[in-house]
Amino acid sequence: MQLAAILASKGDFVATITPEKNVADVVAMLTDISVGALVVSDDGRSIAGIVSERDVVRALASGASALTNSVASIMTHQVYCAPPDASVDDLMHLMTDRRIRHVPITDADGLLLGIVSIGDVVKSRLSELEGERAALLDYITQGG
């Protein structure tokens, strides 16, 4: 299955935040929309970085004063992205190898099309396995 199929089923909404916002804004947004990461972007299409719950926890290790720090100061600058025609298997390998849980999906110009989380990947894979199971069961009970 290609990532475009996941985006087609889940939609193309991507929660973004600008780099000058602060960590308290990140916490509020993550909580309000129940996501684990925000793409850092000035315009909602280009990617400057990504900020996750993990980044927030690392920042807060230095104390509550970190809540006033800018998003730019805690975000992950190196963002691993994938094209919509990449396979779910390729994405699983990227997520495992890089120990990341959120991957922005971008077009050929690097502009944001959507985002896929590890939860989306698991849901997709379970759906594939259920389809295979149903086909095998049908094959066995119906004789092919």
pLDDT, position 85: 97
List residues bridging with 98 in a β-sheet. none
pLDDT in tens, the chain (144 residues): 899 999 999 998 999 999 999 999 999 999 999 999 999 999 999 999 999 999 999 999 999 999 999 999 999 999 999 999 999 999 999 999 999 999 999 999 999 999 999 999 999 889 888 888 888 988 888 875
Residues spanned by the domain of 57: 3-142
b (16+ CB within 10 A) / e for 63-95: eeebeebebbebbbeebebbebebebeebeeeb
Buried b (16+ CB within 10 A) or exposed e, 13-49: ebebbbeebbbebbeebbeeeebebbbbbeeebebbb
pLDDT the model gives residue 129? 87
Which pLDDT score, from 0 to 100, does residue 131 have? 85
Domain count of the chain? 1
Q: What is the pLDDT of residue 144?
A: 59
What lies within 8 Å, CB to CB, of 93 at 6+ separation is: none
What residues does 54 pair with on adjacent strands? none
CATH number at residue 126: 3.10.580.10
| pTM for this prediction | 0.88
Residue 127 has what pLDDT?
Answer: 84
CA separation for the pair 6, 109 (Å, rounded): 20
